[in-house]
């Protein structure tokens, strides 16, 4: 691509058609990498930073409708029985590559990352933001257990706030357990601890019962992060397998999508949907359309760097063409 071409003008024109847009996005992405997107003076300094990806709000936090999911960055690939994929991802997503991925996401309008406190994550995010000038916002869940490690949970929340987190949510693994053990009060406690530190406070869940109990008990969460995807893919669970809450059946994280759709219609808090592609089993166009049409306000998308351009293009096309949304925008 000629260096004399203005990139903003080029990419805006390229968005007019899906095929041309995809090629153009990949062209800009390759140019970003070739020129070194990650620089101490700012990761996205020389790349497009004003892509018109729609945004919404959680409290005062303005976030893109597509968020960067953190699992691929922490190498939790959910690759079913393909055990080598975890190591492959770990070898590919080095710290340098993760920085490049976040820079590309920013450059294409994705302004927020959702991740958990895996070892080394926060120090890496701090380096990207404070040493390299990154602007990516953080929504992070502590992994300490508020019922058995209350002091450690509170300590993790305080540390995250001190280090610059933009919002905190209760890890879905924890929330699922609390509901199954009759400890809904622990969800409320986790939400309040984050609120005490002045940041938006949410609840994650794989099991819809978590959201139902939060609503029934009027837990003052600011947002929900809930799994959501259809079952129209080859490795989807069979009807006789629909007894597990989530991942005990390979490739399975949303046991009754229609029940989720029906219940979430009446939920007025913002809903961030995750696992929308069932760990890569559902193509992004299908996943994004299904998720936004059926009520989610935001989508967490786990993306490698080479997927970002096309996924943003697809998301823009889907969002601009929505006609049959089943739930009002709650953000």
Q: List the pLDDT tens digit at each of the 331 positions of the chain.
A: 444 334 444 344 444 444 344 434 444 444 444 344 444 334 544 444 446 799 999 999 999 999 998 877 765 666 666 778 778 877 888 899 999 999 999 999 999 999 888 778 899 999 999 999 999 999 999 999 999 999 999 999 999 999 999 999 999 999 999 999 999 999 999 999 999 999 999 999 999 999 999 999 999 999 999 999 999 988 777 766 655 444 444 445 788 899 999 999 999 999 999 999 988 889 999 999 999 999 999 999 999 999 999 999 999 999 999 988 999 999 9
**209 and 179 in contact (C-beta within 8 Å)?**
yes
- Residue 161 confidence (pLDDT): 97
- In this structure, whether the domain defined by 51-320 belongs to CATH 2.40.30.20 is answered with no
Q: 104 to each of 1, 18, 154, 232, 312, how far by Cα in Å?
A: 18, 19, 33, 31, 11
Supply 142's token pair.
Answer: 């502590």
- pTM beyond cutoff 0.85: no
Give the other-Cβ count within 10 Å of 184's Cβ.
Answer: 18
What DSSP line would sit under 61-121, residue for residue?
A: EEEESEEEESHHHHT----TT-THHHHHHHHHS-HHHHHHHHHHHHHTT--EEEEE--TTH
Whole-angstrom distance, CA of residue 66 vs CA of residue 145: 28
**201 and 222 in contact (C-beta within 8 Å)?**
yes
N-term to C-term CA, the chain: 38
- Residue 87 confidence (pLDDT): 81
CA angle 169, 173, 179 (to 5 degrees): 95
Whole-angstrom distance, CA of residue 186 vs CA of residue 175: 8
- Residue 152 confidence (pLDDT): 96
Q: Where are the domains of the chain?
A: 51-320
Whole-angstrom distance, CA of residue 157 vs CA of residue 169: 10
- Residue 10 confidence (pLDDT): 36
DSSP-derived secondary structure letter, 249: S
H or E, element range at 161? helix 150-163
- Residue 30 confidence (pLDDT): 42
Q: Taking the CA of residue 146 as centre, how many other CA atoms within 13 Å lie in the half-sphere pointing to its CB?
A: 25
**314 and 284 in contact (C-beta within 8 Å)?**
yes
- Residue 75 confidence (pLDDT): 58
Whole-angstrom distance, CA of residue 231 vs CA of residue 253: 10
Nearest C-alpha neighbor of 225 from the set 60, 112, 315, 86: 112
């Amino acid at each position: 691509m000629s260096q004399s071409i203005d990139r903003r003008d080029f990419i805006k024109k390229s968005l007019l058609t899906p095929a041309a847009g995809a090629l153009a996005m990949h062209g800009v992405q390759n140019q970003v990498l070739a020129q070194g997107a990650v620089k101490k003076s700012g990761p996205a300094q020389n790349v497009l930073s004003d892509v018109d990806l729609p945004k919404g709000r959680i409290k005062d936090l303005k976030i893109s409708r597509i968020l960067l999911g953190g699992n691929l960055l922490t190498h939790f690939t959910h690759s079913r029985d393909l055990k080598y994929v975890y190591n492959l991802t770990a070898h590919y997503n080095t710290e340098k590559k993760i920085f490049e991925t976040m820079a590309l996401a920013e450059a294409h309008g994705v302004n927020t990352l959702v991740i958990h406190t895996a070892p080394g994550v926060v120090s890496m995010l701090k380096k990207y933001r404070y040493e390299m000038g990154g602007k990516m916002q953080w929504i992070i869940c502590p992994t300490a257990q508020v019922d058995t490690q209350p002091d450690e949970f509170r300590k993790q929340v305080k540390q995250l706030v001190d280090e610059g987190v933009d919002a905190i949510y209760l890890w879905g693994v924890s929330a699922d357990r609390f509901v199954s053990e009759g400890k809904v009060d622990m969800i409320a406690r986790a939400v309040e601890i984050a609120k005490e530190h002045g940041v938006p406070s949410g609840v994650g869940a794989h099991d819809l019962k978590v959201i139902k109990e939060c609503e029934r008990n009027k837990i003052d969460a600011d947002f929900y992060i809930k799994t959501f995807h259809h079952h129209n893919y080859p490795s989807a669970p069979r009807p006789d397998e629909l007894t597990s809450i989530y991942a005990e059946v390979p490739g399975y994280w949303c046991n009754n999508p229609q029940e989720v759709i029906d219940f979430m219609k009446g939920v007025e808090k913002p809903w961030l949907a995750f696992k929308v592609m069932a760990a890569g089993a559902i193509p992004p166009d299908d996943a994004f359309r299904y998720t936004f049409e059926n009520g989610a306000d935001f989508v967490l998308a786990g993306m490698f760097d080479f997927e970002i351009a096309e996924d943003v293009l697809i998301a823009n096309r889907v969002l601009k063409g929505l006609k049959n949304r089943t739930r009002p925008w709650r953000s």
